[in-house]
Structures are given as structure tokens and as C-alpha cells.
Amino acid sequence: MKLRITPLNIIGAAGLGLAVFNLLTAKDNAPRQIDMSGFYLLILGCLILVTFITDLIFRFTLKDLKKIWLVESIFIVITVILIIIIRKIA
């Protein structure tokens, strides 16, 4: 089995690292820590799961690694643009 790193893997790993960091650090000892309640950690966990499933879907539909990188990068950019638009409206 080949190990193929994709943009959604990188995003998922960063999210998982942030979640683990917030769960394991003491709240009093980390003054620059992002304050995340349990609800936000649950949403972050769901987003990590969605990125994992989306990455699997892209891997099964596209076999070429260059196409996977292109499609997943476009997917991430469109998602970020939609999040910015929704935050401006709300």
C-alpha cells in the first residue's frame, strides 16, 4: 500500500493536532492557547471525520495523484471562500 499525502490529509492532521493539544494542555499554563469549549471540540472532531471521508471519496474516484492534489486544493479554497462569505453575512 502506497502512502500518498494529500491536502485533505494535511488539513485533517492539523485539526487533529489542534484537538489533541487543546485536550491535553492545562488551561492555566497556556496563556496563548485558543479557548475551545467541548462543543467546539465536537465540531472540530466532526470536521476531521468529514475531511477523512471526503479524502477517501476523492481517492476512489481519482487515481492520479496530481489530479487528487488539484481537486482537493480547489475543494479547500472553495470551502474557505464559502466560510468567509457566510461569516460576512451572519
- Nearest to residue 78, comparing CAs of 7, 2, 3? 7
pLDDT above 70: residue 49: yes
Q: What is the pLDDT of residue 7?
A: 93
pLDDT in tens, 9-41: 999 999 999 888 878 876 665 566 566 677 888
Taking Cα atoms as reference points, which of 28, 76, 87 lies closest to residue 51? 76
Cell numbers describing residue 15:
485539526
